[in-house]
């Protein structure tokens, strides 16, 4: 996927109009963020929002104000897809290009926008008013097709509603007017739910049912830090982002570090296609989230917190800022929380800017530090040396919300739900070919078939559990359980009926991983390109039986030698479908002529990988092509 601008009739690739940068404007933006190089992403987002691009002269000024080199500034500006070194329109329309959106009618929606606006995907109108582009999953798979228009989200698009929206924008209406003519008078929560339906289909006992206000925090201030951690350990709570690390152990490791500063970071960068559970919690349980972060801070001795909010959820920023300010006024954040001496803790919001890799905690910390979102080498682990080199607890939205409820109701209450090794409840984000997509809060231990019956997905032929980095299973595996020890998932459940092309889905997921690789390490940067090229070969019916072994061998190499979790899980769409849908692959193979295997254009794949990574891989060239 290439989100770059392309020249066309009436379209300028580099000379489209851009808002002039007034003298002193860049210095003012930098000063607002304390000329702090660690706030580089905030600075660049502000520049992008105000002036539609980050021009060379602007980068020079930012470098001077923050004490960095121009190349360091450009390294950050060029890393994130929501930032641009070339002018964008004053309004940027980003159509979600997820596989679920494609199956829901994205092609017709795209055609409607293109026809009304008179531009193609990747282009900007000649007057610099509008840019149109594709973007990966924006967390709206339960109401696809969806789009972002600047900071405004549109869902359940049809060809007709897309034409109406494009016509309104072309006529000069603001994106906010597409939501409500009274947008400015609506509360932040009302604005959010006007744009996005939370689709809560089943509210469980822990997170989406009745929740007492700050009962967990009140308990936390009445006991010691060690007792808080013991409660979390005894509850059996594990990280809800997919990895499943024991939450209490993580907190205890951070608390054991003796240092003058420590941090608590909430990972609200749920970029896994098909996942949208945290979106719902951020909208309906923001106080519970902040309560959980505050309890964690009490447990590990942190005074500073960061809520890392994915760029696609920018429409929720005002709501979350309002919640933070309200809690400060009520003595639930800031100095001497609930009147407790030496219990000081506050939180700032760090907006992301369109980078899936920042869901990995090391890359997320890099992003918070004002760097490109590249994973960090381990060890040391974040609990020992994380943000700015200090001990840092990183958990996701659902985990912090669970922690607050455990402090309120007790460890045994939580532990008794679910199954052995998978305690409590789990939010499942269900989308795709089913009657009732949305959020289901269920105790761990339900089978896939039981969930499919709840969501109206009885026609399912394949289910993607855990998003692209998880596993795709066939009907003969629908008896399996949704637990950490069987089918682990961060929450995504994508349903596909028998009309869908398995190899098309795999091809899309591999293109997603190719696009989202940070480009740091060769196995991920280049190996995934090779995998996608090989899948394309199968789709064209040009594969040999030997190519199945090639897919397995290459996947194993990528998993074993990649630096971070993206590369370690990116071959999963290939491996899980090879295991569970072997006939799909064998049906697309043909014997080699004279036993000679078809040639593979390695240089073409390398060139594709360079384009994605936006850098030249000299090491790869030297090691493999000479």
- Tally of CB atoms within 10 A around 251: 25
* 85 part of a folded domain: no
Q: What is the pLDDT of residue 592?
A: 65
Tell me the range of 361-370, 372-381, 585-594 where mean pLDDT is highest.
Answer: 361-370
Average of per-residue pLDDT across 606-623: 39
Which CATH number covers residue 287? 3.40.50.11540
Q: Is the pLDDT of residue 624 over 90?
A: no
Q: What is the pLDDT of residue 368?
A: 98
**Largest Cα–Cα distance in the chain?**
82
- One domain for residues 178 and 120: yes
519: confidence class by pLDDT, cuts 50, 70, 90: confident
Q: Which of 128, 129, 169, 134 is nearest to 152 (CA)?
A: 169
Q: Is 567 left (phi over 0), alpha (psi -120 to 50) or beta?
A: alpha
Which CATH number covers residue 583? 1.20.1440.230
The residue count of the chain comes to 626
Give the domain extent around 601.
Answer: 592-625
Q: What is the pLDDT of residue 191?
A: 98
Tokens 């026609």, located at residue: 459
- One domain for residues 325 and 363: yes
Average of per-residue pLDDT across 5-18: 37
Average of per-residue pLDDT across 393-400: 97
521-541 tens-digit pLDDT: 888 889 999 999 999 999 999
Q: What angle do CA 280, 76, 399 make, to 5 degrees?
A: 25
Average of per-residue pLDDT across 12-35: 77
Structure tokens at 396: 């996701």
**Angle 286-300/247-256 helices, nearest 10 degrees?**
40
Q: What is the CA radius of gyration of the chain?
A: 24
Helix (H) or strand (E) holding 346, with range, is strand 346-351
Pair 121, 132: CB distance under 8 Å: yes
551-591 tens-digit pLDDT: 999 999 999 998 888 889 999 999 999 999 999 999 998 87
**End of a domain among 500, 528, 558?**
500
Residues whose CB falls within 8 Å of the CB of residue 202, separated by 6 or more in sequence, listed in order? 439, 440, 441, 442, 454
- One domain for residues 251 and 120: no
Which CATH number covers residue 40? 1.10.10.1590
- Secondary structure (3-state) at 521: coil
Pair 517, 567: CB distance under 8 Å: yes
- One domain for residues 522 and 397: no
Residues whose CB falls within 8 Å of the CB of residue 81, separated by 6 or more in sequence, listed in order? 3, 135, 353, 354, 355
* 11 part of a folded domain: no
Query: Which runs of consecutive H residues, i.e. helices, occur in 357-415?
Result: 361-368, 397-409, 411-415
What's the rounded Cα separation, in Å, for the pair 528 and 532? 6
Q: What is the pLDDT of residue 19?
A: 73
204-223 tens-digit pLDDT: 999 999 999 999 999 999 99
Q: What is the pLDDT of residue 563?
A: 84
Pair 139, 100: CB distance under 8 Å: no
Distance, CA of 21 to chain centre: 31
pTM strictly above 0.85: yes
* 62 part of a folded domain: yes
What's the rounded Cα separation, in Å, for the pair 405 and 304? 22
What's the rounded Cα separation, in Å, for the pair 337 and 313? 28
**End of a domain among 474, 500, 526?**
500
DSSP labels for 421-454? TEESEEEEEEEESSSS-EEEEEETT-BHHHHHHH
Residue 81 is given by DSSP the state T
594: confidence class by pLDDT, cuts 50, 70, 90: low
Q: What is the pLDDT of residue 4?
A: 37
Sign of torsion over alpha carbons 365, 369, 373, 378:
negative
Residues whose CB falls within 8 Å of the CB of residue 140, separated by 6 or more in sequence, listed in order? 96, 146, 153, 155, 196, 276
424-483 tens-digit pLDDT: 999 999 999 999 999 999 999 999 999 999 999 999 999 999 999 999 999 999 999 999
626: confidence class by pLDDT, cuts 50, 70, 90: very low
Which CATH number covers residue 145? 3.40.30.10
* 275 part of a folded domain: yes
* 106 part of a folded domain: yes
241: confidence class by pLDDT, cuts 50, 70, 90: confident
- One domain for residues 243 and 370: yes
> How far is CA 157 from each of CA 142, 277, 316, rounded to the nearest angstrom?
12, 21, 20
Tokens 């209406």, located at residue: 173
Pair 392, 293: CB distance under 8 Å: no
- One domain for residues 379 and 511: no
* 8 part of a folded domain: no
- One domain for residues 234 and 341: yes
The neighbouring-strand residues paired with 471 are 465
Q: What is the pLDDT of residue 311?
A: 97
**End of a domain among 51, 79, 107?**
79
What's the rounded Cα separation, in Å, for the pair 623 and 626? 7
403-413 tens-digit pLDDT: 999 999 999 99
- One domain for residues 259 and 376: yes
Q: What is the pLDDT of residue 564?
A: 87
90-114 tens-digit pLDDT: 999 999 999 999 999 999 999 999 9
- One domain for residues 614 and 481: no
- One domain for residues 102 and 247: no
- One domain for residues 397 and 313: yes
What's the rounded Cα separation, in Å, for the pair 349 and 182? 27
**Mean pLDDT for the chain?**
91
- Tally of CB atoms within 10 A around 609: 23
* 86 part of a folded domain: no
Which CATH number covers residue 467? 3.10.20.600
DSSP labels for 147-204? EEETTEEE-S--HHHHHHHHHHHHTT--GGGGT-TTGGGS-HHHHHHHH----EEE--
324-368 tens-digit pLDDT: 999 999 999 999 999 999 999 999 999 999 999 999 999 999 999
**Angle 546-561/572-580 helices, nearest 10 degrees?**
140
* 159 part of a folded domain: yes
Cis before 380? omega within 30:
yes
109-129 tens-digit pLDDT: 999 999 999 999 999 999 999
- One domain for residues 259 and 391: yes
Overall number of domains in the chain? 6
520: confidence class by pLDDT, cuts 50, 70, 90: confident
């Amino acid at each position: 996927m290439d989100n770059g601008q392309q020249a066309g009739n009436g379209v300028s690739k580099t000379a489209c109009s851009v808002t002039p940068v007034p003298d002193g404007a860049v210095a003012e933006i930098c000063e607002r963020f304390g000329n702090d190089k660690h706030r580089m992403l905030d600075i660049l987002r502000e520049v992008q929002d105000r002036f539609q691009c980050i021009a060379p002269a602007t980068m020079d000024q930012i470098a001077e104000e923050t004490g960095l080199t121009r190349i360091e500034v450009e390294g950050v500006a060029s890393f994130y897809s929501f930032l641009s070194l070339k002018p964008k329109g004053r309004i940027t329309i980003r159509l979600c290009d997820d596989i679920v959106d494609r199956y829901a009618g994205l092609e017709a929606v795209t055609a409607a926008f293109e026809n009304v606006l008179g531009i193609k995907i990747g282009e900007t109108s000649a007057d610099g008013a509008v840019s149109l582009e594709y973007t990966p999953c924006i967390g709206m798979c339960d109401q696809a097709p969806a789009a972002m228009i600047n900071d405004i989200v549109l869902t359940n698009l049809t060809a007709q509603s897309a034409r109406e929206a494009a016509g309104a924008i072309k006529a000069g209406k603001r994106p906010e007017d597409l939501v409500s003519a009274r947008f400015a008078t609506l509360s932040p929560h009302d604005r959010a739910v006007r744009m996005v339906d939370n689709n809560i289909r089943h509210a469980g006992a822990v997170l989406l049912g009745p929740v007492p206000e700050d009962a967990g925090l009140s308990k936390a201030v009445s006991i010691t830090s060690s007792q808080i951690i013991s409660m979390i350990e005894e509850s059996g709570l594990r990280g809800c982002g997919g990895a499943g690390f024991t939450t209490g152990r993580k907190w205890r490791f951070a608390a054991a570090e003796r240092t003058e500063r420590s941090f608590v970071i909430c990972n609200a960068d749920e970029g896994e296609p098909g996942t949208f559970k945290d979106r719902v919690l951020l909208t309906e349980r923001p106080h519970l989230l902040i309560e959980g972060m505050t309890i964690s801070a009490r447990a590990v001795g942190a005074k500073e917190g960061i809520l890392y909010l994915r760029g696609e959820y920018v429409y929720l920023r005002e709501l979350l800022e309002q919640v933070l300010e309200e809690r400060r006024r009520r003595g639930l954040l800031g100095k001497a929380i609930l009147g407790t001496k030496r219990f000081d803790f506050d939180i700032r919001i760090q907006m992301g800017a369109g980078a899936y890799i920042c869901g990995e905690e090391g890359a997320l910390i890099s992003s918070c530090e004002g760097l490109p979102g590249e994973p960090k080498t381990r060890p040391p682990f974040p609990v020992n040396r994380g943000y700015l080199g200090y001990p840092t607890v990183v958990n996701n939205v659902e985990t912090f919300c669970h922690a607050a409820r455990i402090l309120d109701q007790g460890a045994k209450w939580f532990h008794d739900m679910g199954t052995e090794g998978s305690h409590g409840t789990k939010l499942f984000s269900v989308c795709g070919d089913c009657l009732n997509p949305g959020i289901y809060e269920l105790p761990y231990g339900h089978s896939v078939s039981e969930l499919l019956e709840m969501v109206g997905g009885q026609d399912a032929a394949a289910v993607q559990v855990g998003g692209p980095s998880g596993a795709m299973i066939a009907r003969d595996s629908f008896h399996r359980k949704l637990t950490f020890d069987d089918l682990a998932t961060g929450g995504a459940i994508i349903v596909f009926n028998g009309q869908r092309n398995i190899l098309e889905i795999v091809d899309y997921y591999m293109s997603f991983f190719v696009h989202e690789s940070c480009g740091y390490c060769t196995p991920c940067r280049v190996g995934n390109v090779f995998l996608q090229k090989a899948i394309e070969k199968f789709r064209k019916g040009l594969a040999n039986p030997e190519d199945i072994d090639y897919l397995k061998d290459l996947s194993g190499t990528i998993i074993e030698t990649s630096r971070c979790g993206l590369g370690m899980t990116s071959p999963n769409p290939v491996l899980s479908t090879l295991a569970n849908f072997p006939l799909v692959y064998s049906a697309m193979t043909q014997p080699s002529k004279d036993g000679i295997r078809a040639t593979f254009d390695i240089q073409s794949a390398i060139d594709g990988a360079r384009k994605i990574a936006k850098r030249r891989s000299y090491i790869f060239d030297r090691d493999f092509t000479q």
